[in-house]
Chain A
């Protein structure tokens, strides 16, 4: 079935790095834009980053621009989020999500992963 599974979360000190992965299955990964969305403890959803189906277009929230890098490997059906210079305020559950339609880039759609938790603490 259509599925997204995130991994790579953990506890890390401020200033360190972490790489999240999102493994896709059950659909043609290479035709869908993908997104990272996070949710800090007790807070609302925050869009983090987006990448087009072919990786040619990437977008970032102002809060992570210059520190986070989104990428994808369509041969491995996997989405990544490289997070550098982590801050305490980056502590959150990180979700990956698929666009609603193939070959478009209009926002997180109907397929989401279960989330992976990142805790930044000294």
Chain B
């Protein structure tokens, strides 16, 4: 099972919106409604930001939104803030024997 493909880095200025893509196949992202997004600050554990494609856990800012089209999922951060600077990972349930896969990760930089 190959990792889902994400851009290595995305940057934006404070207040801007950025979008991170997560591309898989019909056996993972495209085949199931179980795509999640995680934020990870250096030295910290990942934090769930989005689950089941577009649901936000309680406590997560509504500046974070997500969607899916075909084999590609996307995370959008609106009104970019300095605290959003972190690594972001997508993940998906898969039909393969390994069952789960993470994305390659995207480093978000706030300029």
Q: For chain B, what secondary structure do more than half of its interface residues adopt (helix, strand, loop), or is it mixed?
A: strand
* A59: contacting residue among B34, B36, B98, CB under 8 A: B98
- Separation of A103 and B72 alpha carbons in the complex (Å): 28
Residues of B in contact with A, size category: 20 to 34
**Residue with the highest number of chain B CB atoms closer than 10 Å, among A50, A105, A110:** A110
Given the complex, which residues of A lie within 8 Å of B51, measured CB to CB? 100, 107, 109-110
**Residue with the highest number of chain A CB atoms closer than 10 Å, among B36, B93, B100, B103:** B100
The reply to whether the CB of B61 lies closer than 8 angstroms to some CB of chain A is no
* A107: contacting residue among B3, B36, B45, B87, CB under 8 A: B36
Given the complex, which residues of B lie within 8 Å of A97, measured CB to CB? 46
Q: Is the CB of B100 within 8 A of A35?
A: yes
Given the complex, which residues of A lie within 8 Å of B48, measured CB to CB? 100, 108-110
List the one stretch of A8-16, A17-25, A82-90, A112-120 in contact with chain B. Answer: A112-120
Inter-chain pairs besides A59-B100, A62-B98, 11 sampled, C-beta below 8 Å? A45-B38, A45-B46, A50-B99, A59-B99, A107-B51, A107-B92, A108-B36, A108-B48, A110-B57, A112-B47, A114-B45
